[in-house]
Amino acid sequence: MSGPDPDGMRDQNRRSWNAVVGAHDSHRGDLAGFLEAGGSTLFPEELRLLGDLSGKTVAHLQCNSGGDSLSLARRGAEVTGVDLSDGAVRSARRLSEGSGIPARFVRADVYDWLAETAKDGGRFDAVFASYGVVCWLPDLASWAGGIACVLVPGGRFVLVDFHPAAEVLDEDWNPARDYPSGGERLLLQEGVGDYVAASGGGLTPAGFARGVGGFENPEPCHLFRWGLGEVVTALAGVKLEITALEEYPHSNGERHFARMRELPGRRMVPPEDVPALPLMYGVRAEKSVAEA
């Protein structure tokens, strides 16, 4: 999947993300000061799956504007963040400078970066990705293979993402779509939205700022619909051992549906008249030490 982008999907997605970065950042309050003072943007699910990171090298794929990357670095990791968006990487570098937390940020397509890093001998103790990342991947096999190649023997990959079962539902909790499968391509004419504003503070632990209002993205984007089994099978297919597969009846930070209730820790759950269902999942996959 690395190399040229003949139909322009990845470049179009880059433009859509570049268009929205300023709006997202405008709502995040004094995130640099929050991080500098010891705050973290990470949630318990990813921290538990990642384990102790002190002295470890970590690649954070699709890192966006760097808040999670710097929170990982704050826990003692040497972090490299990778993102498709020029604007997001610039924002991450400013956040690193403003918070005084060192990390390296690279503007690159994730497939290209994985291939080039593997070729150059780059290896990491852990690779991490979270929240709305799988839907941007047109090829799970190449993605999983690239991750396996950049892990050290005994290294781990951790993914926390929104559960594909929830994609079946419309905003009002009614079944409206088929379960995702096969990487079905979906064109969103409205592009990447201002989900940070829509979270109502759920994604802004440093405090919510009103910022940009009524954002409309002029750049469409392309998504890809995958099932949970397909994600796990791709990782297992490159001989990564699945050591954890967790499903969570809540959504961290984001309000994907109407009338969601907020619990402590910025956890969003269905309204009381809707049964509990999986809204997120977490996977930990480890590379055998025998590959040393």
Rounded CA-CA distance 153/156 in Å is 9
Residue with more model confidence, 122 or 8:
122
pLDDT recorded at residue 3: 58
For residue 290, what pLDDT band results from cuts at 50, 70 and 90? Answer: confident
Question: Is pLDDT of 152 > 80?
Answer: yes
Question: Is pLDDT of 6 > 90?
Answer: no
Q: 240-248 and 184-188 as β-strands: parallel, antiparallel, unpaired?
A: unpaired
Rounded CA-CA distance 143/146 in Å is 5
Question: Tell me: the pLDDT tens digits for 54-87?
Answer: 999 999 999 999 999 999 999 999 999 999 999 9
Rounded CA-CA distance 136/291 in Å is 30
Taking domain 9-266, whether its CATH number is 3.40.50.150 is answered by yes
- Pick from 147, 173, 137, 165: nearest CA to 272: 173
Question: Tell me: the pLDDT tens digits for 179-215?
Answer: 999 999 999 999 999 999 999 899 999 999 999 999 9
b/e per residue 141-180 (b: at least 16 CB within 10 A)? ebbbbbbbbbbbeebbbbbbbbbbbbbebeeebeeeeeeb
Question: Is pLDDT of 1 > 60?
Answer: no
Q: What residue type is 126 in one-letter code?
A: A
Mean per-residue pLDDT for 245-252? 98
Predicted TM-score of the model (pTM) = 0.95
- Ordered strands of the 240-248 beta sheet: 104-107, 78-83, 57-61, 124-130, 151-162, 280-287, 240-248
Assess contact for 285 and 243: CB atoms under 8 A.
Answer: yes
b/e per residue 194-214 (b: at least 16 CB within 10 A)? bbbbebbbbbbbbebbebbee
Question: Is pLDDT of 4 > 70?
Answer: no
Mean per-residue pLDDT for 258-276? 95
Q: How is residue 39 written in tokens?
A: 């705050």
Rounded CA-CA distance 239/237 in Å is 5
